[in-house]
Amino acid sequence: MTANNRIVLSSDHHGLQLRQAIAAHIAAQGWVAVDIGPTTRESTDYPRQGEAAGRLVASGDCRFGVILCGTGQGIMMAANKVKGIRCGVCADTFSARMIRRHNDANMLSMGVRVVGEGLALDIVDAFLTARFEGGRHAARVAMIGTLEG
Ligand code: RB5
């Protein structure tokens, strides 16, 4: 585990239950779950939740972020607008491993209407246990950074 063991969790109104399951799952592995809500099922704007989570990761306050909305797509788009964020939507464990290994992703997004809880927890595990491979991938990740304003 890295020195910073904080993972920010965020979602829109679709994600409350799965977010709580992820929080318990990662806490059992020694991670600190920084859950920034929402705490009710009242309609919530995913761009605000994605941005807030992205800022906590980009600032270094949290090592990783796991974010959820209905499809995982909208909140991912918002998070990726924060400088320094590399977030991918995953609905399978292979992609979750690869966005860490090749893309050095620092955030994972999932669709609550796409994946069930069991698969979502496996995807989280695949993401958190994979390591960035560096080398030729580091140069490409740096190229992504040059696209940021
Ligand atoms: C909200 O209904 C829905 O649009 C949102 O959860 C997400 O799927 C957007 O990408």
Ordered by start, the domain boundaries in the chain are 3-146
Whole-number Cα distances in Å, 145 to 28, 58, 92, 111: 33, 12, 26, 26
CATH entry, 3-146, from 3.40.109.10, 3.40.640.10, 3.40.1400.10, 1.10.10.10: 3.40.1400.10
pTM surpassing 0.85?
Answer: yes
Q: Give pLDDT, residue 2.
A: 59
Q: Tell me which of 69, 87, 90, 137 is the catalytic residue.
A: 69
List, edge to edge, every strand of the sheet that includes 64-69: 32-35, 6-11, 64-69, 107-111, 87-89
Integer-rounded Cα Rg, in Å, for the chain is 14
CB 70 within 8 A of CB 112: yes
The type of residue at 97 is R
Residue nearest to atom 8 of ligand 1 (CA): 70
What lines the ligand 1 site, CB under 6 Å? 12, 14, 46, 69-71, 73-74
- Is the dihedral angle over the CA atoms 95, 101, 105, 106 positive or is it negative? positive
Rounded distance from Cα 128 to ligand 1 centre (Å): 25
- Of the pLDDT bands very low, low, confident and very high (cuts 50, 70, 90), residue 3 is confident
- Of the pLDDT bands very low, low, confident and very high (cuts 50, 70, 90), residue 1 is low
Write the pLDDT tens digit of every residue in 61-112. 999 999 999 999 999 999 999 999 999 999 999 999 999 999 999 999 999 9
